[in-house]
Amino acid sequence: MWRKAWIIARQFLQATARDRISLIWLLLFPIIWTTLIGAFSSGGNEPTPVGLVRLDSSSYAQAFQDGLSGEKAFQIRLLPTAEEAQSQVQGNNLPLALVIPADFGSLLERGETVTIMVWKTNRPSSYYLDELINKVTRRLAADAATAGFAVSKMAERTALTPSQAAVAWSEIFAKSEEGWRNPRIEVSYQVLTSEKEVQIPQGANQASPGFTAMFVLMGLFFGAGSLVNERRDWTLQRLLTTPTLRFSLLFGKFLGFFLLGAVQLILLILYGQFVLGANWGTNPLGIALVSAAYLLAAVGLGTLLAALARTSQQAEAFSILLSIVLGMLGGAWWPVEILSPTLQTIAKFTPIYWAVNGYNKLISFGEGIPALLPNLAILLAIAAVSLFLGMLLFRTE
């Protein structure tokens, strides 16, 4: 019985390895995708290009520019004219551009209000970009307010000529600006972790585990979908006319799916580790445990999908769409925390969530195997329920 199962599994693996099309989804596409996304989602560290038009050459405009340049999240691109800035933003080459007007310095000195024009695309843009511009503006406005206030107090006590007032204004502005270099009140920020100093998953450390989990699920959905093809082409029924138990047949198929997923997972992990620079190597045993439990759950869900799909087109279309939806919900594409509370609750019903969460515990939070117990238990429960239902519902005819 076991030997037959093994032969069936081996035959499945050989057929898959020969099928160049399935290799696209098993390896080629995941590699392209993970590389692309890893490069983009390291955006946490990549500065955002911001256009700046300086129509004023005063030191105040320079201070504003320095303030913006001082923000790590920004990469300032100087542009010659406001029209150029507008067209760059319209063409979606820049998410935003600022225009410092020609009378910026003189209006500030005179105590009048100046307007900085900010052009933004009509694409959704991050809330934080606005926050950072506000921050720089707040500081500069404070410098101007300080200078204006001090000069007004001086003028209350002594007569100042306009040029004396201007010199004093400028000196106090510079002192106030200087004060920000060594702020007296700071905000310390600490991410609470179990024990050690750790990294929050981002860039390759988010993309590699997340998309590895998603594409393994997709691969196994595809693999299990082959059961539907076999049913269509009558090869499954033919196999059952031989002295092979239904159990051996299904077990052999499951074993084949599991091994296929394992090979795919190992290759994608190696790619993540050595090419993308993700940190997979912290706890190999933990990674293996989470992976094995996850593969079982994925095999179970794949079988269930094959049992429910009536045609191979259905199975193939759902393999992709379903794994993308489960991946988005389960934290493969981005940290689950950005989802709404309801979706976060729903996320906990997806196997990807428990796999990615388990990998994160090991890769990013430096936790040990005991912390993985809930993940393993839930993944195995998903595997048991879905395998049982899949076997129950799967019809060979």
Partner 1 sequence: MRKALAIAWKDLVVLSRDFVSFILLLAMPLLLILVLGTAFGGMFVSNTAPFQITLAFVDQDNGEMSRLLRDEVLQGPDLKEMIRLHTFASPDDARQAVRAGSAAAALIVPSGFSQAVMGESKTQLEVLANPDSTIKAGAIRSIAEAFTTEVMARGAMVRLTLAELLSRNLIQPQEAAAAAARWVPELQSLQSQIRIQREQEVAPGAQLPGAMAYYSISMGVMYVLFAANTAGGSILTERRTRTLLRLFSAPLERRTVLVGKLLGVFLLALVQFLLVVAFTALAYRVSWGSSIPGLALMILATVFCLAGLGALLASLYRSESQAAAIGPAVALLLTFLAGGMWVFTGGPQWLDILSHVSPVRWSIDGFLTLMSGGSLAQILLPIGVLLGLGAVFFGIGFLRIRKSYDVA
Contacts to partner 1 from residues 151-170, by CB under 8 A: 153-154, 157-158, 168
Radius of gyration of the chain (CA): 30
- Residues 338 to 357: which contact partner 1 by CB under 8 A? 338-341, 343
**Closest CB to partner 1 among residues 63, 296:** 63
**Closest CB to partner 1 among residues 251, 365:** 365
**Closest CB to partner 1 among residues 57, 93:** 93
Residues 30 and 102: their CA atoms lie apart, in Å, by 51
Give the interface segment with partner 1, choosing from 1-9, 126-134, 254-262, 374-382 (CB under 8 A): 126-134
- Which of 18, 78, 112, 392 touches partner 1 by CB under 8 A? 112
Give the interface segment with partner 1, choosing from 7-15, 206-214, 327-335, 380-388 (CB under 8 A): 327-335
36 binds partner 1 (CB under 8 A): yes
Q: Which of 98, 99, 104, 92 is nearest to 129 (CA)?
A: 98
- Which tokens sit at 39? 């490069």
Residues 316 and 222: their CA atoms lie apart, in Å, by 6
Give the interface segment with partner 1, choosing from 138-146, 263-271, 292-300, 388-396 (CB under 8 A): 138-146
Burial 109-141 (b: 16+ CB within 10 A, else e): beeeebeeebbebeeeeeeebeebbeebbebbe
21 binds partner 1 (CB under 8 A): yes
- Residues 284 to 313: which contact partner 1 by CB under 8 A? 310-313
Give the interface segment with partner 1, choosing from 107-115, 249-257, 259-267, 298-306 (CB under 8 A): 107-115
Strand order in the sheet with 48-54: 74-79, 48-54, 96-100
365 binds partner 1 (CB under 8 A): yes
134 binds partner 1 (CB under 8 A): yes
Helix (H) or strand (E) holding 316, with range, is: helix 312-330
Is residue 179 classed exposed, middle or buried when 0-12, 13-18 and 19+ CB atoms within 10 A define those classes? Answer: middle
78 binds partner 1 (CB under 8 A): no
- Residues 220 to 259: which contact partner 1 by CB under 8 A? none
189 binds partner 1 (CB under 8 A): yes
Q: Which of 289, 249, 283, 282 is nearest to 265 (CA)?
A: 289
**Closest CB to partner 1 among residues 50, 379:** 50
Q: How far is the CB of 91 from partner 1 (least distance, A)?
A: 8
CA torsion sign, 157 to 161 to 164 to 168? Answer: positive
Question: Could you give the 3-state DSSP secondary structure of residue 231?
Answer: helix
- Which of 18, 123, 181, 196 touches partner 1 by CB under 8 A? 123
Q: Which residues contact 48 (CB under 8 A, 6 or more apart)?
A: 73, 74, 75, 95, 126, 129
15 binds partner 1 (CB under 8 A): no
40 binds partner 1 (CB under 8 A): yes
43 binds partner 1 (CB under 8 A): yes
Question: Could you give the 3-state DSSP secondary structure of residue 309?
Answer: coil
Residues 89 and 17: their CA atoms lie apart, in Å, by 48
Question: With CB under 8 A, what is the number of residues at the site for partner 1?
Answer: 110
